[in-house]
Structure 1
Amino acid sequence: MDITRLSPDDEAGCADAVAVKNAGLKVDCPEMTPQTPSGYANMLRYGWDMVPSYGYLARDADGTAVGLLDVGANTYDNLNQIWIDVDVHPDHRGRGIGSALVEYAEGLARDMGRDTVGYGCLDLPKGDAFARRHGFVQKAVEVNRRQDLTGLDWGVVQRLYDDAVAASTSYELTKFTGPVPEELLEDMVTLTSSINDAPKDDLDIEDDVFSPGRMRAYEEAQSKSDHTVYRVIAREKSTGALAGHTVIAVERERPHIGEQHDTAVDRDHRGHRLGALVKSAMLLWLREAEPALTQVDTWNAESNNHMISINEQLNYKVIARILAYQKKL
């Protein structure tokens, strides 16, 4: 078996990588959104915020793509860690390919001077057994939920919005697409840092470190990946302080698909239903701005009860549970 790093310019290789990944999803969790070759290539080029991910394709002796290793190595924070995904084509499982990819990933971590490997897999007995066999310890559970806009009761959304407006009369909303205006950038960085209050469960991770440069890098990566980024911000009327926000990115390749990127409320402004306010306002906006949009996916720690309660009011349903593991090398 040959393991080689993929280039985002290798169209055939990216297509093979996505074929491996999607074949596994079809068997293990067909409800999850499949990837596209162009979307995968963009992750290798730009990542989430201009920190590209690494893709390594495993090929059999005859050149058949049989496995895929994806590696994320943050350069903003948590510099002691990498996070990996391992996919093996269902037709080639049980041959040690996944184990070889984990071993390869651990070698990469050591070469980078990193001593911790994080690993995520679907909540399936075989996935858990594989992780534990390789010395990983479960630390958290992430849940993928999906909002079906075609079945959404817009009356419920409107009532949620109206009730939130009544509870937050000291605040007003600002909406825009694309880059954060320069005059809001520093305050937006501070507000975005509020995401660090979300549950981390038992994960051995530092807080995310945000900066104006990282914010601009995120905007650049999303734009270059052909995503339209929508942002709704709640501001305190008396001070202009940014109190809460939500962000959704809509794919241009598949404009029926959106992804929830962030929702956070500054701790000094909690208790005014700002989370419900910005999320319901976002939906009402997208209903007009993105008529082709039919689904929005979000990810939350299973223990994040407050955000989950809002999502459930907005017709989000569980698609998958992901078990998160870590291993010290």
Structure 2
Amino acid sequence: MTITETVTVRPLAVDDDEELAEAQRVMRDSALLGRPWGKVPSLREFTIDMRKPSSSERLEPYVAVLEGQVAGLLLMWFPLHDNTKFTWFDLHVDPLLRQRGVGSALAEKAVERTRADGRTTALVEFHVPDDNREDHEYARFARRHGFTYANTEIRRILDLPVDPALLQGFADEAAERHEGYRIETHVGGLPEELRQSYCDCFNQLAVDAPTGEIDFEEESLTPQTYAEELGRMAEQGRTPITTVAIDPSGAVVAYNDLVTRAEEPAEVMQWGTLVRREHRGHRLGMAVKARGLQELARIAPDAKRVQTCNAEQNAHMVGVNEDLGFRRVEALLAYQRKLDA
């Protein structure tokens, strides 16, 4: 237990429905402050995340209590099979209780737990206005606590529906470049025969996508952990819409993941897109994105927006998104604190 002045930091009582609801409220109020496009897990989604352990990463949730009420939330992830020198954390403070040491107490807890677990780098991200990166209060907060800037991603939003003729035009143009590949979309998870090659493809994203000063290693998703994640998503009311490019050998060599949510059907997240290096130059990135959006229009006609993030320096994928009509709304700044330095 950590105490800073009148702020007490302790583990979140995950079996306490009332405290879970209060912690989720703090996260929601914090994440949506000044961000009308901001998205947070619903109470149902949040509860499942807090109570259902993952075999690939350990989640440690903490609350900051001020004058008897939950004033802040810290979520820490400890990867178990890859990138084990890192912790990731997400930090929220009730907007009505800021400037009272809550954020500082939670940041100190994150560093303390990273060090205690034998890890050397703590990572955190903050959403800030695109035109106010250096001097935003979150950037100043990160620097004040010993974190250094590491990378920038840009959040973009695509308003739906997209003109069907535009999507078909992009799909047709891409098809001229990827003869011999087939493009397929699967809802709710990939069939067994595609899961291993999808995992091989997915695991490359951490090392292929630009990450600035952060030195990630390849991830270790397996068909078993993929199935586990599908089960979690089903419980949460989330549905993956995965579009893949399959080469003549039958292997997945490119993918695009869209995710819908039963409790917020208007909002869709684009989680990841990757084309394996040896298969680039065939417009497979555009092919899987365009087909995914075509299938989304059919499967989820009530969807109004798609959100995604790309590294600022990822010119090719940014170009594909902009061609499709994504517009930029904010910056996502990554900071790291190396504890062995």
Q: Scaled by the length of structure 2, what TM-score is found?
A: 0.88
1:108 to 98, 102, 113: 113
**What is the distance in 1 between the residues matched to 2:284 and 2:291?**
10
Partner secondary structure for residue 173 of structure 1? strand
1:147 paired residue number: 158
* Amino acid in the other structure paired with 1:154: P
Partner of 2:23: 17
Structure-1 residue corresponding to 2:335: 325
On the 8 A contact 1:233/1:278 being kept in 2, the answer is yes
Structure 1 residue 300: deviation in Å? Answer: 1.5
SS at match of 2:122: strand
Look up the match of 2:4. none
SS in 1 for 2:25: helix
Q: Does the 8 A contact of 1:119 with 1:326 survive in 2?
A: yes
For each residue in 1:176-209, what CA deviation from the matched residue of structure 2 results, as whole angstroms up to 9, or x when unmatched? 2233322222222222233231112111322222
Q: Does 1:77 align with 2:70?
A: no
Q: How far off is 1:274 after superposition?
A: 0.6
Aligned ranges for residues 212-291 of structure 1 at < 5 Å? Answer: 212-236=223-247, 238-291=248-301
Q: Partner of 1:178 in structure 2? A: 188
**d(CA) in 2 for partners of 1:121, 1:287:** 31
CA distance in 2, matches of 1:266, 1:245: 9
User: 1:230-276 CA distances to partner (integer Å, 9 max, x unpaired)?
Assistant: 1111122x433322111111111222222112211121211110110
RMSD, matched Cα: 2.0
Q: Percent identity?
A: 30
Work out the CA distance in 2 between the residues paired with 1:120 and 1:248.
Answer: 22
Which residue does the alignment assign to 1:189? 199
- Residue-by-residue CA offset, 1:30-84 (whole Å, 9 max, x unaligned): 33124422222222234787635332121212x2221111111111211121111
Q: Deviations over 1:89-130 (max 9, x none)?
A: 222111111111111112222232222211111235111111
3-state SS of paired residue (1:167): coil
Residue pair 1:50, 1:218 contacting (<8 A) in 2 also: no
Equivalent residue number for residue 296 of structure 1: 306
Q: 1:173 to 1:27 in 2, by over 3 A?
A: closer
2:100 paired residue number = 95
What amino acid sits opposite 2:166 in the alignment?
Answer: V
Q: How far does residue 227 in structure 1 lie from its aligned partner after superposition?
A: 1.1
Equivalent residue number for residue 171 of structure 2:
161
Cα offset, 1:8, TM superposition: 4.1
- Identify if the C-alpha distance between structure 1 residues 106 and 302 changes in structure 2 by more than 3 Å, giving closer, same or farther: same
- Structure 1 position 136, deviation (Å): 0.4
Aligned length: 326
Structure 2 residue matching 1:43: 3-state secondary structure: helix
Partner secondary structure for residue 53 of structure 1:
strand
Unaligned residue ranges in structure 1 (runs of 5+): none
CA distance in 1, matches of 2:168, 2:327: 19
CA contact (8 A) 1:161 1:281 kept: yes
3-state secondary structure, aligned to 2:81: coil
Instruction: Quickly say closer, same or farther: Cα 1:282–1:49, change in 2 above 3 A.
Output: farther
